[in-house]
A and B are shown apart, each in its own frame.
Chain A
């Protein structure tokens, strides 16, 4: 076959008495390399964490430290997590779709290093957050409903500007914040062995 031809190798051996040639061996090896590399990517991606709804998941990307740190110092800390505001809660399918869509876009931006110095919410995200403000603070906002006639396009944070992230938005505005940065991808047991050496 082609690979064995290119590298001019002749592989012949037998399994259970059946003679095998290069063709039947190389294909599984190549497929194994690709799939293995795929699993490796999923591992360094911390892939399983994305099933979680904990704020630590959002800290997989360290560019979120400003948002994380300002939230932990706000009155929303302990009451509303990242996803309580930033994912839609109207139905399960919409929520998952939004999570996947946002997540993939964020991954692309993060891995191509195209994140802006000051992260601002996108239009779609803003709609979701506004809905979530109302979802929790319904009792309050129904009372002001009448006053907002004609200004429906206003957002809660047009007035409540520092809720909950404050006005520091740039990537480096919380240089020494203690936030749960993701650990090294090298597992503990391996690090121990390496340190011993």
Chain B
């Protein structure tokens, strides 16, 4: 043992001690502040993994929830009443029975229960639609998909199987928080498998690689896209009306048609329905909103859905995204004018002008298509064979597909006016060609006159003409709403109560 010989050692020791002590304090301060950021990412309340009641989320996020409640605004508008031609075009299909303009998110479950398209199921008689129709209506959907995956099954395919009323008691809460948000971090989240699969097919990328700005549109693309039910997939999916986005070749009307042309039982084409008047195999376009948005000027510039449909609002010095998802024209000062300096009137006019000119094209296509359907029927009555009408029907299918793509994608006349005009021009051309071919077929069967259309001036007249018994359909719906729906709600109330009790225990 040696003794400490100088104070130098002590000074160095104290110096190192102080340095390490303060370095430790610094490290501690950094770590504390980083932890704050992690905590800030966490949800304000513990919602659990499958809380699907929007009002429970709303307790923690009052601004967002209150604006969401505003989606209640807006009345039902009957498209068929306004434009009876639409009933003709959808003859033989659910949309000829009942077709309303879209309403706010909060009405999702209510409206799908009320529409005549889902029919009036009873204990004995099933709905004409499958459970797939629930997919876009509620945050209860991913909850059920998870539940049905028990035992290693394909929960998604299991969900789609079965008639629409079989899951009625489970799908209760309308589109809301859990559809787009992670309950733990509130980060944007994709909850619908169809988009995950479609995005992969379209881009080759996993959707988790999408940037935050992309996510601000992708969460909307879970529903606001073109889709069809594919019953001819392999494995466990076989037989289930599997919700699929037709994006194998791309997102234009041509690309999506190519995808549908390849599907069906023998790969000769998908079939949504056989047209009641012309007996054409038809495609129903849904609402390719996301597809059109990205083909247009705003999408190309990377402006997300949420930028215009969920603008920033401020109240009491706080800023939040409005969850009253609606037309941006409702609050131009918070949407368009963030980037555009024109007056409200000028901006409104710019949108309306585009819409007016596209409605003109749309009406042209509709009128030609209505005539083509009736003329096909006339040709059949005169003895024309399916072989003779094959090309005509192909043209009708392709024309109406384009008309439908343009019309059903709400807002496309603003999102991508050029593309919509093009598609409608193609629709008009194809319908014109169909009628030209038809005149040749009719002439071959000795008819050169004009096919006289029946009276199709009102919705009621058209529905009677295409053989719909509306009184019966309405009665069935009424009985269903009176007898079955209250039972669903009762069952749901019990389930929600049991969740509350479980939460209390925790």
Interface residues of A (CB under 8 A from B): 1-3, 5-6, 8, 10, 30, 33-34, 37-38, 40-41, 44-45, 61-62, 65-66, 69-70, 73-75, 78, 110-113, 166-168, 170, 172-178, 180-185
Contact = CB atoms under 8 A, between A and B. Distances in A.
B433 to A, nearest CB: 43
Given A41-B23, A41-B30, A183 B186 contact: no
Contact of B38 (A44, A111, A183): A183
B20 A178 contact: no
Given A176-B320, A178-B187, A180-B212, A6 B26 contact: no
Nearest to B5: A2
Nearest to B23: A37
Given A2-B13, A61-B33, A176-B61, 10 more contacts: A6-B13, A34-B19, A69-B312, A73-B319, A78-B213, A172-B318, A173-B314, A178-B188, A181-B38, A181-B40
B37 interface: yes
B23 A69 contact: no
A2 B9 contact: yes
B26 A176 contact: no
Contacts of A5: 1-4, 9
Contacts of B31: 44, 185
A69 B212 contact: no
15 contacts: A5-B1, A5-B3, A6-B4, A10-B1, A38-B23, A41-B30, A44-B27, A62-B33, A69-B312, A166-B314, A167-B314, A168-B319, A173-B318, A173-B319, A178-B187
A86 to B, nearest CB: 20
A75 B337 CA distance: 9
Contacts of A75: 338-339
A168 B186 contact: no
Contacts of B38: 181-184
Contact of A111 (B29, B319, B320): B29
Interface in B2-19: 2-4, 9-10, 12-13, 16, 19
Dominant SS at the A interface? loop
Contacts, number: 111
Interface of B: 1-4, 9-10, 12-13, 16, 19-20, 23-24, 26-27, 29-31, 33-38, 40-41, 61, 63-64, 186-188, 212-213, 301-302, 307, 311-312, 314, 317-320, 338-339
Nearest to A72: B213
A8 B4 CA distance: 11
Given A44-B27, A178-B212, A62 B40 contact: yes
B399 to A, nearest CB: 39
A170 B316 CA distance: 12
A97 to B, nearest CB: 23
B172 to A, nearest CB: 25
Closest 6 CB pairs of A and B: A2-B9, A62-B37, A75-B339, A73-B312, A181-B37, A111-B29
A175 B318 contact: yes
Contacts of B213: 78
